[in-house]
Amino acid sequence: MIVNLPHNLPAIEILEKENIFPTKTKAPATGVTPLRIALLNLMPLKTVTEADFIRLLSSSPLAAELTFVRLRTHKSRNTPEAHLDTFYKYFDEVCNEHFDGMIITGAPVELLEFQDVTYWEELKDIFNWAADSVHSTLYICWAAQAGLYHFHGINKYPLDRKQFGVFPHTLNNPDVPLFRGFDGEFYIPHSRHTEIRREDILKVPALELLSESESASVYAVMSRGGKEIYLTGHQEYAACALHNEYTRDLAKGLPIDMPVNYYNDNDMKKGVNVRWYAHANILFSNWLNYYLR
């Protein structure tokens, strides 16, 4: 259940077409304070990413309030400034507020060295603030790599081919509350040109490797009892996300393989085999229920 979303947020219209009504669920009981979550959205298509995370957060019965955050040191080229001015706040405008949780998304800068990212200094300040001020922070895809590098000195490595598709994963510790209700094997979408390696994670006592994949390497890492949760995949992706990336790159003549385990019978004409939604919903419900209180 999501409360206090702006009534004219474009993502709401996207979700209502999917019969998801995040602003029309039952209001929380009197005296129930919604969980406050800050979403630092570093993805180029802001509205799509907003819908992706609202879709997951609204699957929980817990009341939540979502605040969209942006950077002063980065100007988005793919989202109208009017949208950002209307629906987003700069980090320095909200850093004195209380948030129970934070989500920091991926960003299309993974082939750059971290120090070469134009907003790296501001992002480090946000990482440090979240570590001190928020109960739990989810670092997604490139943000997971960036957070692991910033806090724990974990390097990322370029891949020969893009890790692209929907890959099977297993749990190293099924008793962790984040994965309560998960099956022994589950699928997560990945779309990245770099990876972090399990041997580097295992060298750091403060890190716990929660989940990995034989074909997609490290997926989930946790530190400080869940105050930092690093997820290298895109469990928030809508069904069409990898298809849109694939057809976009084909149209541009870029080298791209068909996403693995994605289309039915590996045939784009047969549509997408969505096999990650259920576990993505469980993961986010567990995060809200066990880590933000």
Supply the pLDDT for residue 58. 87
Supply the pLDDT for residue 48. 93
Distance CA 84, CA 70 (A): 8
Cβ 50 vs Cβ 9: under 8 Å: yes
Supply the pLDDT for residue 293. 76
- Of the candidates 212, 228, 236, 279, the residue annotated as catalytic is 236
Cβ 192 vs Cβ 200: under 8 Å: no
The CATH number linked to 21 is 3.40.50.880
- Of the candidates 141, 190, 212, 279, the residue annotated as catalytic is 141
By residue count, the chain amounts to 293
- Decide if 95 is catalytic: no
Please count the structural domains in the chain.
1
The C-alpha torsion from 37 through 10 and 75 to 115, rounded to 10°, is 40
Q: Which residues of the chain have pLDDT under 70?
A: 1-4, 23-31
Supply the pLDDT for residue 2. 62
- Of the candidates 169, 190, 234, 279, the residue annotated as catalytic is 234
The C-alpha torsion from 128 through 132 and 133 to 137, rounded to 10°, is 70
Supply the pLDDT for residue 124. 98
Q: Which of 34, 148, 46 is nearest to 99 (CA)?
A: 34
Q: Where in the sequence is the domain holding 284, given as residue range(s)?
A: 2-291
Give the pTM. 0.93
